[in-house]
Structure 1
């Protein structure tokens, strides 16, 4: 029955790749491969306290188009594919840390305005998909909704890195008691300036003991760093 409904939906609303627009899968193989390149996210100016964060791909071209299609343009069917990318980023960032604890994905909560405009918590959707992928791969993983937002923040579009940090200061608070065990991995769809992850990681870090594993980060995509000195490795 599910396959019949899917076939009917394809007739009424033919599927196209959210990355390049060719007919077929929700994300074609060529565009999908762009989300299998885990790398450390590198904001142009690292905020103090920015957690070690891995992105599955670069936030440009087809990847940017796919993320925006899922987030803003009514393509929720991309959740599984982007969730798989988030799982890859999570597995990559925890691979460099010696631990025996379960991996707890902490979704960055939406702003009230974002939740109203989209009608859904898209980061939590990605988190659930990523947790399912990690468990299927044998990783002890779970979701931990440890954060909530308070107050109002401006839309970050057009703000400088410093303005983003000031805009988010004091935004996040704990939603409840933090677990005594677990490797905490903050997850979001995209990292640009690093301000959101830095502010959220600071709140989570205050729940950790001195010798605890630091808070990590994982995202679907990160804005590429264009600084010439960085690209030369200097």
Structure 2
């Protein structure tokens, strides 16, 4: 990577943020979930992210850490996540980050620990180039602030790095997704978490569980080896079969399908 590329990306991200701010001045603000004018995420759609639950994919991969989701990745929630992730609606970091904090707090309540370390899943090189930003880290940063506001001793802990090339996961089976991600996460060099800490892996969406499983493996050693316990928290999780299905006739664009599986 050239010495100037990080500065170029940072400059591009700043311009994107400025463009979004200018657009807010010119265009009416609408809910990213349902399109109703008035707020970035209306109360009705925000309530869909207010009931954290244990999230499990249809086929649970071995090694998937216990995971809490703030809501179902369907309907308005799915629309809001895609708008934030793929369509430049960076102002959604606030409500979606608050939802992530809620999921992390629910998980942390089960395992008493101090402090709570939020470990964002790092993006692939391809997604970082395409988006010009680390959207999961943005959400984690907001979540840390929200947790502090309610007295939870949390901090951001970017303990993972990503290496190697991965192909687009759209259309891959669970086994193929796991193989595609194998070996792409590694632990950054540095001190171990303090005694009594809880590691909470954070991501935007849980689909097959392959990403969180591989990321958790890179955080080893686990509790059996004396390491900090590892949980996971996400904004939303794909509903189990029969829950939260889109209405009949709902069309999915190619971009939305890719967004569901993008790292």
| TM-score (normalised: structure 2) | 0.80
The answer as to 2:87 corresponding to 1:73 is: yes
| Alignment deviations for residues 83-107 of structure 1 (CA, whole Å, 9 cap, x no partner) | 00000000001111133x2000000
Give the whole-Å Cα distance in 2 for the aligned partners of 1:68 and 1:157: 15
CA shift, 1:157, in A, is 1.1
Runs of 4+, deviation exceeding 3 Å? 6-11
- The 3-state SS of whatever aligns with 1:152 is coil
In structure 1, the residue matched to 2:4 is none
- The 3-state SS of whatever aligns with 1:176 is coil
Give the total of aligned pairs. Answer: 222
| TM-score (normalised: structure 1) | 0.90
In structure 2, the residue matched to 1:22 is 36
Q: Structure 1: state its 5+ residue gaps.
A: 1-5, 229-234
Distance of aligned partners of 1:17 and 1:227 in 2 relative to their CA distance in 1, 3 Å threshold: closer
Give the whole-Å Cα distance in 1 for the aligned partners of 2:179 and 2:144: 32
Give the whole-Å Cα distance in 1 for the aligned partners of 2:145 and 2:99: 12
Q: Structure 2: state its 5+ residue gaps.
A: 1-19, 244-263
The answer as to 2:143 corresponding to 1:93 is: no
In structure 2, the residue matched to 1:150 is 163
Give the whole-Å Cα distance in 2 for the aligned partners of 1:16 and 1:132: 25
Match of 1:216 among 231, 235, 253: 231
| Alignment deviations for residues 169-192 of structure 1 (CA, whole Å, 9 cap, x no partner) | 111001222523121000000010
Quick check: 1:148–1:174 contact (8 Å CA) kept in 2? yes
Give the whole-Å Cα distance in 1 for the aligned partners of 2:121 and 2:204: 9
In structure 2, the residue matched to 1:58 is 72
Distance of aligned partners of 1:29 and 1:195 in 2 relative to their CA distance in 1, 3 Å threshold: same
Give the whole-Å Cα distance in 2 for the aligned partners of 1:151 and 1:71: 22
- The 3-state SS of whatever aligns with 1:170 is coil
Give the whole-Å Cα distance in 2 for the aligned partners of 1:38 and 1:82: 13
Match of 2:181 among 154, 168, 179: 168
